[in-house]
Structures are given as C-alpha cells and as structure tokens.
Structure 1
C-alpha cells in the first residue's frame, strides 16, 4: 500500500508555526492600537480602544494570548482540511478529518488531477469522488501507477461539462435546488458545505466542477 499525505513538517509544524505567527500578529496589533485609535475613520475603534485601556505589561500579554489562540484555531481548520490518500492493490481510500471515502479496485477505472482536485472515475465514466487537497500531483501519480491503476493526464470528459444556470432544463428539480444551495455556499466561502452539496449532486448522477465561482456539470446517466 502507498500513502500520500502532507509532509511531517507540515502536519506537525502547523501546531508551532500558526500559534507563533498569531502571537506575532497580536503583538504587532497591540503596538499599532494606540495609533489606530487616533484615526476616527478606522473601523472597530472599540476593539482597539480596549487594547489601549489595558495597563502594561498585561496589554502585551493579552495581545500575545489572543493572537496565539487565533493561530491555534487556524491550525485546527488547516488540519481538518488536510487529506491523505491510501492506494493499494485492493482499492483506494481518501481520508479527511472524520470522513473516509473507500472504493474497491474493481470500481476504479482511472484517476487524474484537475487543478488541486483528485478525481476518481468509475468503470462507467462517472465520477466516484472529486476532492480538493494540496497533495503533490507527481506523488499521486506515482502512488496510483505504482499499484497498477491508470493515471490520466487530464479529464477525458472535460468537453462535456456545461455551465450551470438557474433552473437548467436538462436537470431534475432536486438537482437544480442543490446547485442553487451550493451557489450560496460558494458565495459565502463555506467550502465544506459546498463540497458536501457537490457529493449530494454526484449521488444523483451529475458530475460537478468549479471554475472560480461558476459551477459546471455533466450528466452521467
């Protein structure tokens, strides 16, 4: 079995780098607070005034602490977005946070990278999964070809995708409703909600991909 995942430096380093970066940002913000409170047009004046009202050295301690906590929260979010891919002779498993997507060897026809997304195609040409990650394309290719899977250079069905519009006539009402909900999620940068809605659309036999904030689809059956 071959496992592709972020390097140990990234997986463990974020728990040090993010809090340190957050603490540094908090310290800098604390230093800038006094000057910002003199700018009447600057937003969130109350927040910066609060910093200036805290006596030293506690003001610096609070700035460092708030920044470090923000860094930890960012590290938690980053860790939850990391994906690992396990490729074996028996099948493929994609793991992210508390989600695992498994596919047997007989289900997977091929795999390819579409930008930052890993896509697995089924024997009937349908998309089994399309998940975003920062994993190396070259490492993914080596993992799949090393276990005897077909790796494609590009999406063989790219020309079949068409841009989704409201109430697309060739899509069922429930699929159009999912696309509408997904458009709202994308506009609000709710990436996990958008990804979950894409999975629901895929279950209904429609592949979906994005270009910037536009949604594209192809009917698979």
Structure 2
C-alpha cells in the first residue's frame, strides 16, 4: 500500500507555527494600540482604548493568550482540510476531517487532478470523489500508477460541464435545491459544508466542480 499525505513537518508544525504567529500578531497589535487610538478614522477605537487601559503584565499575557488561541483554531481548520490518500491494489481510501471514503478496486477506473482536487472516476465515467488537497500531483500519480491504477493527465469529461443556473431544467428539483444551498455555503466561505453538499449531489448522479464562485455540473452516465 502507498500512502500520500502532507509531510510530517507540515502536519505537526502547524500546531506550533500557527499559535506562535497568532500570538505575535496580537502582541504586535497591542504594541500599536496607543498609536492607533490617535487615528480617529481607524475602526474599533473602543477596543484599542480598552487595551491601553489594561495594566502590564496582564495586557501582554492576554494578548499572547488570545493570539495563541486564535492560532490553534486556525491550525485545527488547516488540519481538517488536509487530505490523506491510501492506495493499495484492492482499494483506494481517502481520509479528510475525520471522514473516510473507501472505494474498491473494481469501482475505480482512473484518477487525475483537476486544479487542487483529486478526482476518482468509475468505469461508467461517474465521479466517485472530488476532494480538495495540497498534495503533490507527481506524488499522487506515482502512488496510483505503482499500484496498477490508470492515471489521466486531464479530465476526459471537462468539455461536458456547464454552468449551473437557478432551476436548471435538466436537473431534478432536489438537485437544484442542493446547488442553491451549496451556492450559499460558498458565498459564506463554508468550505466543508460546500464539500458535503457536493458529495450529496454526486450521489444523485451529477458531477460538480467550481471555478471561482461559479458551480459547474455534468449529468453522469
């Protein structure tokens, strides 16, 4: 079996780097708070004035604590967005945000990357998975080909995608409703919600991909 995942330095380093950067950033704002209060046009003046009123060392301790906590939240979001891929001769397993998506060998006709997404295709051309990741394309290709899977240079069905519009006539009402909900999630930067809605759409025989904030679809065979 071949496993492709982010380097250990990234997987573990974010739990140190993000809190450190967050603490440094908030501490920097604390140092600048006195100057900011002299800028009448700057927003959140009340917050900066409150900071200048808190005595040392409590204001520094609070700034470092708040910054580190914000960094931990960022690290958790980053870790949840990381994709890990296990490729073996008999199955492919994708791990993301405590979820596991497993596909037996006979279900996977080929794999490829589309921008930042890893895509698995079935023998009928249906998309089994389309998951976002920062994994190296070359590492993914080697993992799949070394286990006997077909790797495609591009999406063979790219020309079949069309932009989704409200109440697309060729889509069932249920699928259009999912697209509408997904559009709202994308607008709010709720990435995991958008990904989950895409999985629900895919279960109903429709592939979905994004370009900027526009949704595109193709009805699968």
Q: Does 1:91 align with 2:81?
A: no
Cα distance in 1 for partners of 2:42, 2:131 equals 40
Please list, as runs of the form range in 1=range in 2, the aligned pairs for 1:20-59 lying within 5 A after superposition.
20-59=20-59
Q: Does 1:146 align with 2:139?
A: no
Question: What's the offset of the Cα at 1:49?
Answer: 1.7
Cα distance in 1 for partners of 2:214, 2:73 equals 29
Cα distance in 1 for partners of 2:132, 2:45 equals 38
Question: What's the offset of the Cα at 1:106?
Answer: 0.4
1:94-148 CA distances to partner (integer Å, 9 max, x unpaired)?
0012100000000000000000100000011000000001111000000000000
TM score, norm. by length of structure 2: 0.98
SS at match of 2:22: helix
Q: 2:129 matched to which residue of 1?
A: 129
Cα distance in 1 for partners of 2:216, 2:57 equals 55
Question: What's the offset of the Cα at 1:40?
Answer: 2.1
Cα distance in 2 for partners of 1:109, 1:35 equals 61
Q: 1:100 matched to which residue of 2?
A: 100
Q: Does 1:120 align with 2:143?
A: no
Q: Does 1:81 align with 2:81?
A: yes
Cα distance in 2 for partners of 1:150, 1:48 equals 58
Residue ranges of structure 1 left out of the alignment (5+ in a row): none
Cα distance in 1 for partners of 2:77, 2:63 equals 21
SS at match of 2:159: helix
Please list, as runs of the form range in 1=range in 2, the aligned pairs for 1:205-220 lying within 5 A after superposition.
205-220=205-220
Q: Does 1:176 align with 2:176?
A: yes
- Structure 1 segments (4+ residues) deviating >2 Å: none
Name the count of aligned residue pairs: 221
Residue ranges of structure 2 left out of the alignment (5+ in a row): none
Query: Does 35-44 or 205-214 show the bigger shift?
Result: 35-44
Cα distance in 1 for partners of 2:129, 2:28 equals 43
Q: 1:158 matched to which residue of 2?
A: 158
Question: What's the offset of the Cα at 1:57?
Answer: 2.0
Query: Does 169-178 or 57-66 show the bigger shift?
Result: 57-66
TM score, norm. by length of structure 1: 0.98
Cα distance in 2 for partners of 1:206, 1:125 equals 11
SS at match of 1:165: coil
